[in-house]
């Protein structure tokens, strides 16, 4: 009887452990964006706050003569990047002037809200964006880069395993 009870309790413990584990599932469907920022999963989230304009904005893609991404989780980070004359292939980041307007080309910026809105910017060849699919209706790709605090070059943010699909 004791062996049966131990076996049942062990099975329950394994079942509880398996079902309570947190996973880092990444959405890779249409209008998706994800990456790891210093090892922590980042995915855009809509805001329910009316103080954030426009309300609910979480992910914006633009693909005209340049490809532009603007995304936020409305809590920790806001990410911008832009590549001019994009097509299938690898594009290296250039130097960012720290402005997040759409027309600055081949750069990336992250604003970290915690600790006073620190701005992290790309430097020449500090990362790349790879376009794996470019069509009239869809742009997909991956990215990785290191960005530097605009006021302290020793303070960096590493972005890894980035994916987007507009």
Q: What is the pLDDT of residues 80-131, one digit of tens each?
A: 999 988 899 999 999 998 886 666 789 999 999 877 789 999 999 999 999 9
Cα gap 56→79, rounded to integer Å: 16
Taking the whole predicted model, whether its pTM rises above 0.85 is answered as: no
In the chain, the percentage of residues whose pLDDT exceeds 70 is: 72
CA atoms of 49 and 13, how far apart (whole Å): 40
Q: Which residue has the tokens 């005209």?
A: 64
> What residue ranges in the chain does DSSP mark as E strands?
32-37, 40-42, 59-63, 66-72, 77-84, 89-92, 107-112, 118-121, 127-134, 139-149, 152-165
């Amino acid at each position: 009887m004791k062996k049966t009870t131990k076996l049942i309790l062990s099975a329950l413990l394994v079942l509880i452990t398996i079902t309570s584990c947190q996973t880092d599932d990444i959405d890779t469907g249409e209008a998706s964006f994800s990456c790891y920022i210093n090892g922590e999963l980042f995915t855009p989230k809509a805001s329910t706050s009316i103080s954030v304009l426009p309300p609910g904005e979480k992910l914006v893609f633009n693909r005209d003569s340049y490809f532009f991404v603007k995304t936020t989780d409305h809590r920790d980070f806001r990410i911008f990047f832009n590549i001019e004359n994009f097509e299938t292939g690898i594009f290296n980041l250039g130097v960012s002037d720290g402005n997040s307007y759409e027309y600055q080309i081949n750069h990336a910026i992250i604003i970290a809200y915690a600790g006073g809105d620190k701005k992290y910017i790309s430097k020449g060849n500090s990362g790349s964006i790879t376009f794996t699919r470019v069509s009239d209706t869809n742009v997909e790709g991956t990215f990785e880069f290191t960005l530097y605090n605009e006021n302290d070059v020793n303070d960096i943010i590493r972005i890894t395993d980035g994916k987007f699909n507009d």
